[in-house]
Structure 1
Amino acid sequence: MLDDHSRAVAAHGVALDAPNTMNTALVLRRAIWRKTEPGWQVCGIPQVFYTDHGSDFTSRHLEQVAAELNIRLVTYLPGRPRCRGKIERFFDTINTMCLAGLPGYAPRGTLDRAGQARLNLPELDEAIGRFITNVYHQRPHSETRQAPHQRWVAGGFLPRMPESLQQLDLLLLTVAKPRKIHPDGVHLFGLRYLDPTLAAYVGESVIVRYDPRDLAEIRLFHQGTFLSRAICPELAGTTISLREILASRSRHRRDLTATLASRRATVDELMTLRAGPAPIPADSEPDPEGPTPPAAERGGNARRLKLYARE
């Protein structure tokens, strides 16, 4: 994520999975909050957030976050790649000046690209961070004629910050879902969450906020006010993500489908053996050299198709 004025990097993220809302929220959190790295002063809530039309940028979650933080979302025009020139230029800088010098770099066309890997994901993330702070932020930009870090600190700009990191995490790293409190707790993703406070709110509608990376605990809000934290007894003391739960359900569904298909084939085979060959009518004798009757090929269970004169 780049600051449009200074071209300084507000935050970056490295991931192997496809772009998704949670990864975007994590990078936006790093962009807004103060950095722990010395000399990396870019932070603050942006006034305008320019994105493309990716599903991770047009999600309902990001719209809620933008409304809470008073951020105006602007998407690039579809089919107009020149609108993304600044960020694409930065990607090219990363590829040519940073990645090309790292151990295990394998450009397109290299045989066995996966076998060339020398860095794990945290090491790659750290290497990109060092390049941003030590090289990119200190070099004059070709358009602004100033180093991104120098242009950011010039003029004494004071960024707009959230009240606390806890408030920022609550907005960015949790997803809001409406639910109703039942006598046995709150139901979410087939799990049951309990808390003694909920006994006085049975039948009431609440907003559930949860972290997709850890579903052991959820936060409940009633009429805009924090109500309580609810715990899932089955997940207490463990950290289980939404992705793990969905993957487990998919595996269970595939196993059930395979089991049902196997049992169905066994039942069909037993029914065929029990039925035996089709009986031969007394007034007709089968031709020993002729073709096998179709009914005998299907075990005698196949019904003849009735034909009507008007069809």
Structure 2
Amino acid sequence: MHRWRVLRPHLEDGVPLLRAASEAEVALRTAQRWLTRYRAEGLAGLARAPRADRGTRRLPDDLRLLIEGLALRPPGPSAAHVHRLVVDVAKNEGWPVPSYATVYAIVRDIDPAMRTLALDGEKRYREVFDLIHRREAAGPNEVWQADHTQLDLWVIAPSGKPARPWLTVIEDDHSRAIAGYAVNLGAPSAIQTALALRQAIWRKSEPGWHVCGIPGTFYTDHGSDFASAHMQQVAADLRIRLVFSQPGKPRGRGKIERYFDTINQMCLPTLSGYAPRGTKDRAGQAKLSLAELDAAIGRFIVAKYNQRPHSETGQPPQARWDATGFLPHLPASLEQLDLLLLTIAKPRKVHPDGIHLFGVRYLDTTVLGEYVGESVTIRYDPRDIAEIRVFHDEKFLCRAICPELAAQSIGIKEITAARNARRRGLAHGLTHRASVVDRLLAVHQPPEPSPSPPLTDPAAPVTPVLRLYRED
């Protein structure tokens, strides 16, 4: 704009160019050249033209490559160290000695991708600079994703000790709706995955949670539970295509990882026991039981997450899943699904009073009476052992119910904890009673008589002692 201000009096006020140039202390020939450019190109003609050699350095190519090569050697030396090495080499080769500023500028202008590959490794380079293909399912249930995470929340385990639970989630890729989940204290396993998949596939009891059906593709990582022979058999029976992400490359599971961030930001901080890293006495924050945490996460999924517009799709996940109006493909019955998914199966014999399991009896008054004495296979949900499913020759017979547990859902861990507590209570009672018996018996027993000295016989002859003398 300086050049325009010099020419403006001449162009707008009619001031002679010589006078305008003199007042601005600009040579007349320079002002004439500016005026010619302005009339030919307008205001853009007054812009300073960049130098033709701008960005280039008058250095030998080998010297520039030497500077870049030294800067790319792990662990990444400082520009000052590179400059000291380059000065010595340049003097020996007869090259012009570059200044520190020149070396610093060359090091600064190295391609960031090349710098990352050289100094941080190929894995980091792939994470930052590799091209990404964003896969997007065309419709609901076309692709489901599944993954596990350990929550930043502590609960009270059935043993009474604090523990960090694991969350398994199955998400519909198209709608971002959560199809199923499972909360457990154990490390990820095939049974957790099977239970979450069972909930995801079958119809939900919650009226606002419609996501169900058999997915076309099940996309997971290479965890042992996902890649197990059981999951492969389940996928073959349900005609689900199993797809695994590349080992060590979690970017392909970004959608479900984002859901875990949502859980950590919107759900867990509102619950008792939330203790992220840096919290003092993290285990001491535990207040909820595992069942209470399970119910809280379920409420968050149904009432909040699935109903809240997603930032990427712009629609609530549940509404996006319902939008197409398609009919999901479901198994013929829940019993058939259980036969495939519930891996906890145990052989049992039908007794006249029912089936014995976990120290309790399971009864069914309609079918089991015909199979007394027969060997059957029972399958059960470890989260709720109030009911078991009975199979005979791989055919579903009935559901047997424990009368003592029918009014409530009790897990196997609660049963085990109750057994151990009962056993410890009995052992404590036995120890206490034994100590009382020993103490009272010791008080009321008569004292033992003191031993009398041995009696000597006065009539016994006394044996003379033989004396010995030394002879000279």
Q: Same fold (TM over 0.5)?
A: yes
* Alpha-carbon separation, structure 1, partners of 2:374 and 2:210: 43
Identity of aligned residues (%): 59
AA paired with 1:145?
G
Return the offset for 1:208.
7.2
Higher relative contact order (CA 8 A, sep 6+): 1
Instruction: Verify the 8 A CA contact 1:195 1:228 in the aligned structure 2.
Output: no
2:233 to 42, 54, 64: 64
Aligned with 1:150 (options 319, 323, 331): 319
Deviations 1:114-156 (A, max 9, x none): 1111211111111111111111112211211111011011020
Q: Greater Rg, structure 1 or structure 2?
A: 2
Aligned to 1:169: 338
CA, structure 1 residues 122+228, in 2 after alignment: closer, same or farther (shift >3 Å)?
Answer: closer
Supply the distance in 1 between the matched residues of 2:245 and 2:282 (Cα, whole angstroms). Answer: 33
1 CA distance for matches of 2:171 and 2:267? 17
3-state DSSP of counterpart to 2:248: coil
Q: Structure 1 240/111 Cα, relative in aligned 2: closer, same or farther at 3 Å?
A: closer
Gaps of 5+ in 2: 1-169, 347-370, 399-403, 417-472
1:66-81 equivalences under 5 Å are 66-81=235-250
Q: Is the 8 A contact 1:174 1:209 kept in 2?
A: no
Aligned to 1:285: none
Distance 2:306 2:396 in 1: 44
Match of 1:25 in 2: 194
- Aligned-partner Cα distance in 1 for 2:396–2:178: 38
Displacement, 1:112?
1.0
Alignment partner of 1:111 is 2:246: no
Q: What are the residue-to-residue correspondences of 1:28-47 with 2, within 5 Å?
A: 28-47=197-216
Counterpart for residue 124 of structure 1 = 293
Shift of 1:56: 0.8
Secondary structure of the structure 2 residue equivalent to 1:14: strand
CA offset at residue 174 of structure 1? 3.2
Tell me the residue number matched to 1:253.
Answer: none
Cross-structure match for 1:298: none
Which secondary structure state, in structure 1, belongs to the residue aligned with residue 212 of structure 2? coil
Work out whether 1:52 is the aligned partner of 2:205. Answer: no
Structure-2 change in CA distance of 1:148 and 1:217 (3 Å): closer
Determine helix, strand or coil for the equivalent of 2:174: coil
Write the letter of the residue equivalent to 1:165. Answer: L
The counterpart of 1:137, out of the listed 302, 306, 329, is 306
Counterpart for residue 177 of structure 2: 8
**Distance in 2 (alpha carbons) for counterparts of 1:220 and 1:144:** 48
- CA RMSD in angstroms comes to 3.4
Letter in 1 for 2:219: Y
Structure 1 unmatched ranges of 5 or more: 178-193, 199-206, 230-236, 245-311
Q: Label 1:40 to 1:210 Cα distance change in 2 as closer, same or farther (>3 A).
A: closer
Runs (4+) of structure 1 exceeding 6 A deviation are 237-241
User: Is the partner of 2:171 in helix, strand or coil?
Assistant: coil
Structure 1 residue 53: deviation in Å?
0.7
Letter matched to residue 74 of structure 1? V
Could you tell me how far apart the structure 1 residues matched to 2:327 and 2:287 are? Answer: 41
Number of positions where the alignment pairs a residue of Structure 1 with one of Structure 2: 213
Alignment of 1:81-96 (within 5 A): 81-96=250-265
CA distance, structure 1, for counterparts of residue 265 and residue 389 of structure 2? 44
Q: TM-score, normalised by structure 2?
A: 0.40
> What is the deviation of 1:165?
0.6
C-alpha change, 1:82 and 1:30, in structure 2 (3 Å) is: same
Contact 1:197-1:228 within 8 A present in 2 as well: no
| Structure 1 residues 227 and 218, CA gap change in structure 2 (3 angstroms) | closer
